[in-house]
Amino acid sequence: MQKPLSIFQKKIVLFVVLLFFIISIFDLSIAQVIIKEKVDINPVTIPLNNNQLIDTSQTHKIDYLGNVQRKNIPGDNPQSTVTIPFYGRATVEVTLSDAASSSRVSLEIRQPEYQMLSEYANHNVGFTWTSDNMIQGTSVEFGIDWYWNKWGTIYQGKEAGVITTQIDSTEYTMGFEALGDDWDYNELVIRVKFIPTEIVVTIDPPLILPGDTANVIIKNKLADGTLIDFPPTQKFEAAMLDGCIYGQLKAGADSGAYLNNVFQPIIFIADTGAVDSGAALLRVGLVRETPLNKLNLPADITYECFTGYFISNNYNDAEVSIDNPLFIIYPTPFTVERISEEPRMPTVVCKATLKKFYPGTIKYEWKYIVRKFYSRRWSDSGSLACVRISRSEFQGISYSFSGGYTEWTVPFIKDSGYFYFKSLQQGKNKYDILNNVYGCNGDTNVWYDSNTEIFTGGEVLVSVTAKYYHNGQIIAKLDTLHLGKILGSEVSDNQTIFNYANSNKIKAIMYQESKFHQFTYPGIPSHELWPYDGEGWPLYGEPNGYGLTQLDCDPAAKERELWNWKANVDGGKSRLQKCYDEVVKNHGLPNEEKYNLTNAFHNYNHGNKKTYYTWKGKKDGWKPEPYKDDYGFKRYEKYEEYGGGN
């Protein structure tokens, strides 16, 4: 007979039964999913390795892979379909996902062409994608495909719903609901933004002559940088923003400075009357089909630049250059003509040609300008003084016959020139030291020395105008082109200078003032180079000295004395003689050559009535002033060192 269970054994049995009951209840709950009332889902439990996954959403299932060619037709889900408002690209960014970590939520585009964008988009927040260009009005549809394994139960389907929020005309957010269990629309959230296509406008050829045409080429730039043609149905807006005197736009029957609702090809026609070079700035944009431009606004046929409202907000600019048919072959911007050591002005032969054929005899009117602005400064303070200006213009005529080539030799003579010189002679107010020394207010428009042969140097500017000989009509012109310069040449042998000077007095002055240099030279110390940037310019010494003898004032150096070393030596000799005569007249008692010449040297450097020695009477004789420098004394020593005499 079996013994009755003890109290302890009864408790064990009761615990086992209770545990079995709890496990049974838990096992039954595994196959249940609690969702909100909007969707009835009856999941099917299948093995994990079964490939026959069940679509559990209410979204009508479509074989999207079989519809990849579908374009611009209503999609399966209009709530996630938006329309691109212009010719451009769509960009997509995954911004949020609150889906279960064990799930897969794939992002796909269904229109205009199916493509899986990101298979595990819920695990790829921050993912971005950019489409190719689409035409205006294209429908763009997005959706999700999801999969979820929950405790051995597989759920799969398309979106159960979507909320699309429009930020502006180009930007949207879309929140997708997958299973439909909580309707929070955050299984996947994306941002969709439309970007206008980048149009590239080029001109072919970019440089044309008057009367020629250039093609305005408009291309569509893809995301990878590839340039493709726009469809032939694409309309454009085109305008000239600057340089309208050089020509006009033309597309079909329309022409002028502004065209609207036109198709390619678009061309630019350079005006035949464009007599000099220039550029026209063009703007081309894509026309959107809006009520405003559907009115087919007429284009104003005008040569005035377009200043109105440019309708397109997707445009680009390009420039077409109109080349001058007239070309100066010589001189060039790098030409350096040299005054010879002899010295003699260079022989300058200007050469020009026409790039197009013009029949008959062509007349060329030339201007050759030599100009220089000479900066000067005070020797005591280093502050700038007024600028000396030199400008010489030489004119002439040449011809070409049944061809475009011509030559003209510049006549460096007084009668062919027009001149302007400023700040080189004494001003009207002799009590104004600035005018008295520099002539800041003094100017003249004549060649101001007796020699009719011109000596000048500086920057060169050339102008030339080509005309039909028979009627004077201008074909083309080039105005004040900077074409090189004229510089001086240093005398290679100082003995040549000594022989010409034939004076130890001037030799002593040149030694101190210039070390026998008329022009700046290679290796010159930088502090002596100012205000120039290279060699070949008249050697300058503060405040107003130039050349071998540093002619300063009373009188200031003439243009010839800046560029002709012999004229500079002659000017120095004349200046020293004037100083000597002044000393003898005012300080020459008793008449002793040593003191008179020393004082003349001193006067040469320091100005009128300035001396080194002062007569103190018969008892003390000639005495140097203690506050004065020893310029005159040193020059006399150098003069005696050279042997004295003349």
Domain limits, the chain: 64-196, 198-322, 338-487, 494-641
Tell me the backbone φ, ψ of residue 400, rounded to 5 degrees. Answer: -135, 150
Distances (CA, A) of 226 to 112, 195, 198, 205, 319: 21, 17, 11, 21, 22
d(CA 387, CA 490): 25
Check residue 300 and report its DSSP letter.
Answer: P
Paired residues of 613 in beta bridges = 624
Right CATH number for 64-196 from 3.20.20.10, 2.60.120.400, 2.40.37.10, 3.20.20.450? 2.60.120.400
* Chain centre to alpha carbon of residue 365: 33
Output the pTM of the full model: 0.62
Site of tokens 């209840």? 25
Angle subtended by helix axes 504-513 and 593-606, to nearest 10: 40
- Residue type at 419 in one-letter notation: F
User: H or E stretch including 263?
Assistant: none
Say whether the peptide bond before residue 624 is cis (omega within 30 degrees of 0): no
Right CATH number for 198-322 from 2.40.30.10, 3.40.367.20, 2.60.40.1080, 1.20.1090.10? 2.60.40.1080
Site of tokens 């440089």? 207
pLDDT of residue 505: 96
pLDDT of residue 441: 67
Structure tokens belonging to residue 59? 């979204």
pLDDT of residue 438: 56
pLDDT of residue 626: 66
Distances (CA, A) of 605 to 93, 512, 549, 561: 83, 10, 10, 18
CATH number of 494-641: 1.10.530
Question: What residues in the chain have per-residue pLDDT under 50?
Answer: 1-3, 5, 8, 13, 16-17, 20-74, 290-303, 426-436
Rg of the chain on CA atoms, in Å: 47
**Other CB atoms within 10 A of residue 86 CB:** 21
Check residue 415 and report its DSSP letter.
Answer: G
The secondary structure of the chain in percent helix, strand, coil, rounded to multiples of 5, reads: 20, 35, 45
User: H or E stretch including 389?
Assistant: strand 384-401
Please state whether beta strands 474-487 and 336-338 pair in parallel, antiparallel, or not at all (unpaired). Answer: parallel
- Residue type at 507 in one-letter notation: K
- Residue type at 195 in one-letter notation: I
pLDDT of residue 269: 93
Check residue 18 and report its DSSP letter.
Answer: H
d(CA 166, CA 495): 93
pLDDT of residue 151: 81
pLDDT of residue 627: 62
d(CA 624, CA 18): 137
The half-sphere exposure of 345 on its side-chain side, counting CA atoms within 13 A, is: 19
